[in-house]
Amino acid sequence: MLANAPRAGFARRLAAIIYDILVLAALLMLSAGIAMLLVQLLAWAGLVNLSGYTDIADYLNTGLRRWLYFSYLVAVILSFYVYFWCKAGQTLGMRAWRIVVVKQNGLPLSPLQALARALLALFGLGNVWLWLRWGKGLALQDQLTASQMVVISKEHSKSLNVHKTAG
């Protein structure tokens, strides 16, 4: 059924991305807070020396720790997309705009396929490919991972949401 559904266009995808950015901002703030709490706990235990740093953020953003911290935050973003795309086929922003990401045959994405898709999306820039390949309805990440974003009806969206919350 989803394999033949209409593909999501650029405007609908962009709206879902903007919605998801708000969710991701909150998630990143929580993740940063957890990292800072961990550093503070390590400092209280005497395992980390914070002298010479203005605060914990300065400690996290110095030297090799900068790249570890950055990698941690990127992993949080990728995990967000992989989890939602594998579990429900849609993030919260996608749910609001009634779009679902599936394989070309309509089946759910595998974790590896979802990870590849998230990386290849290039923070949403892969959607510009929709303009270069006008009429195909496939973004760069769609083509390279054999997936597609499709628009679902209100009834189908309601049934998906009922099954997700009931199960």
Radius of gyration of the chain (CA): 19
- Predicted TM-score (pTM) of the model is 0.85
Q: Is the pLDDT of residue 164 over 60?
A: no
Residue 18 C-alpha from the chain's centroid: 12
pLDDT digits (tens, 9 = 90+) for 35-70: 999 999 999 999 999 999 999 999 999 999 999 999
- The residue to which tokens 């990698």 are assigned: 71
- Residues near 103 by beta carbon (within 8 Å), at least 6 away in sequence: 109, 113, 146, 147, 148
The per-residue pLDDT for range 137-146, each reduced to its tens digit, is: 788 888 889 9
The one-letter amino acid code at 60 reads L
pLDDT reported for residue 145: 92
Compute φ and ψ for 100, nearest 5 degrees: -130, 145
